[in-house]
Amino acid sequence: MAGDIKAKWSATTVTVTTTNLVTACTHTATWLTGWTSSSYANTGGNLDYLYSGQFTLAAASASAGQITVYVVSSLNDTPAWTAVSSGTLGTESATPVVFADTQRRDAIVRPLVTIAVSATNGGIFTFPQTGIAMLFGGTVPTHHCLWVTANCNTSTNANFQATCAIYQEPSIGQYT
C-alpha cells in the first residue's frame, strides 16, 4: 500500500541574522534600496519555509509608511544572483542592496509581506508565519534570501532599532 508525503515542521526555529538591518535599511522613497539576509540553501529538500518577525521603528523621526519583506530566488544552485547596482544579494552586510530600477527589482523579487506602519516612535510591527513556496509556484528555490525595504522614517536615517527579529521555520516532507 502506498503512503503519503505530508508536511512536518522542524523542531527548531532559526533566528535570521539581522545584525546590519538597521544600517542597510535606511529610508527609501523609490523602494530600490534595502537590506538582504544571508543566503539559505534548500539542501534538505524542504517543502516550504515559514518566515515571521517583528520590526521596531526608530526612536525618533518615525513616519507613516510601510515595510516590505521580499523573497529573492537565486538564478541557479551555485548560487548565482541577479546583478544589482550595489551590494550583494544573499550576503548579510551593512552595505545596502540597491536595484537599478523597478523593472529589474520586480523581475527577481517576490513580495512576502507588506506592513503598513503608523508614525509611532519605537512602535513594534509584526508579521505572522508566512510561507514562501506559494511565491514560486509551490516549489522552494534551491537558494533564497530575504530583502527588506522601508520608508517609515522622515529622513535618510535608519528606519529601525536593533531589536528587530525575523524567524524561519522549515517544513520537511515526511512519508506516512
The mean predicted confidence, pLDDT, of the chain is 90
Q: What grid cell was written down for 57? A: 521603528
Instruction: State what percent of residues in the chain have pLDDT above 70.
Output: 95
Local confidence band at 176 (pLDDT 50, 70, 90 cut-offs): low
Residue 73: give its domain's CATH number. 2.60.120.660
pLDDT at 27 over 90: no
How many structural domains compose the chain?
Answer: 1
Q: Is the pLDDT of residue 1 over 60?
A: no
pLDDT at 25: 87
Q: Which domain holds residue 147?
A: 5-175
Is the pLDDT assigned to residue 160 strictly greater than 80?
yes
Q: Above 60 in pLDDT, residue 110?
A: yes
Cell 525575523, located at residue = 166
Confidence check: pLDDT of 80 > 70:
yes
- Residues 67-88, mean pLDDT to the nearest whole number: 93
In 3D space, the residue among 117, 109, 110 whose CA is nearest the CA of residue 54 turns out to be 117
